[in-house]
Amino acid sequence: MTAKSAELPASFASGSVLARRNPTVKLALLFVVSLAMVFIFDPVTPAVLYVVALAAVVASTRLPLRTLALGHVPFLAFGLGILMVNALSRPGYILWDAGPLRITAEGLSVGGSLALRTLVIGILAIGFIASTDGVALMGSLHQHARLGSRITYAVLAGYRMLQEMPREWQTIRQAHAVRAQLRPDGSLPSGLAAYGRAAFALLVVSVRKGERMAQSLESRGLGLTPRTTWRKIPLTRTDWLMAAAVLAVLGGIVYASHVLGFLEGYDALFS
């Protein structure tokens, strides 16, 4: 009855170059790049950014190709959806049509931009998640982003509860299956109501456990001030260098794109 999901290592790319960087800095950079992407609506700039980000993530995490590809699946699916919707629905110069379907140049351009934007954010998120230990992230947010100790440790305790939930869920489903009325063919019913009952039992058991954990944390003195931090998550010059490099590359690419005439902003939506 082991739950395999609970046995994954804390991060896939532990020990890599990127894993040694400060989690808060990485998270902030992910946020800044994502924010910058919001203002870019041409396909070329995000395409270049994606290629550069992909190269950087591969080089700094050494992720196996398979993991990298699997991580792309949700972003690719989402991006493809956006591309289709825009290509088919955006008005403009018609490249191709068949009956009610038509594809416009503007649609392809904006849709491609949005899809590539998804991939840029996606590859950076993959790099971040694969290289960042959840516990270190919380510790770092506590130290460097002034996240309160009570919230920090509550999240960590919640993380531990999450680890145990798959096993608990399985046991509850088995316990419920014993008394379930079988279908005519002898198989177990899998209706929504059965899931609802199991979810309710899991909720009750988890809320109880959460309450006990909260009491444990309080009995350990969580919330006392002043407090010290034993293992500081380092925030070094290298982290600042990385931040500067990422921002410089981002700015450089956007500027080059502008000079070369590729860059488009919101106007692209209304042209």
Partner 1 sequence: MPAEPALALHDVAVEFPRRDAAVLRGITLRLEPGEHLIVLGASGSGKSTLLQAITGVVPHTVLSTLTGSVSVKGTATTDASVVELSRHVGVLAQDPSSGVCLPDVEQELALPLENRAVPPEHISARIDHALSLVGAAGLRQRQTNKLSGGEGQRVALAASLIAEPALLLLDEPTSMLDPAGLTAVRQAIDAAAAAYGPAVVLVEHRLDDYAGRAGIAGLPGRALVLGDAGQVLADGATAAVLAGSAGRLNARGCWLPLETELLAVTGQPGGLGSRDVCSALRALALPDDDGGAPDAPGAGDTVLAAENVSVSRGAGRKKRRRRRADRVEPAILRNVNVELRRGEITALLGANGTGKTSLLLTLAGLLPPAEGTVLGARPGMVFQNPEHQFVAHTVAEEVRHGRPDAAPDFFNHLLEQHRLTHLADQSPFRLSGGEKRRLSVAAMLAHERPSLLADEPTFGLDRRDTIATASAFKQAAAGGSAILFSSHDLRTVAALADRAVVVAERTVIADGAVFDVLRDANVLARAGLRLPPLLDWLLAEFASDREIRRVLDRLDAAVSGGSSVQRLAGSRA
What is the contact surface with partner 1 in residues (CB under 8 A)? 1-2, 4, 6, 10, 134-135, 149, 153, 156-157, 159-160, 163-164, 168, 171-172, 174-182, 197, 201, 204-205, 209, 212-213, 215-224, 226-232
Single-letter code of the amino acid located at 65: L
Shorter beta-carbon distance to partner 1: residue 227 or 237: 227
Helices (H) and strands (E) in the chain, counts: 9, 2
Neighbouring CB atoms inside 10 A of 18's CB total: 21
What does residue 245 show for φ and ψ, rounded to 5 degrees? -65, -45
Complex with partner 1: residue 216 or 271, whichever CB lies closer: 216
Q: What is the b/e burial string over 100-129, where b = at least 16 CB atoms within 10 angstroms of the residue's CB?
A: eebbbebbbbbbbbbbbbbbbbbbbbbbbb
CB of 151 to partner 1, least distance (A): 14
What minimum distance in Å lies between the beta carbon of 26 and partner 1? Answer: 20
Nearer to partner 1, 8 or 65 (CB): 8
The minimum distance between CB 160 and partner 1, in angstroms, equals 6
Length of the chain: 271
Nearer to partner 1, 160 or 183 (CB): 160
**Selection from 22, 82, 26, 18 nearest residue 55 by Cα:** 18
Nearest distance in Å: CB 159, partner 1 = 6
Q: At 32, phi and psi to the nearest 5?
A: -65, -45
Least Å distance between CB 77 and partner 1? 23
Residue 233, φ and ψ in degrees, nearest 5: -80, 120
Q: Which is nearer to partner 1, 27 or 201 (CB)?
A: 201
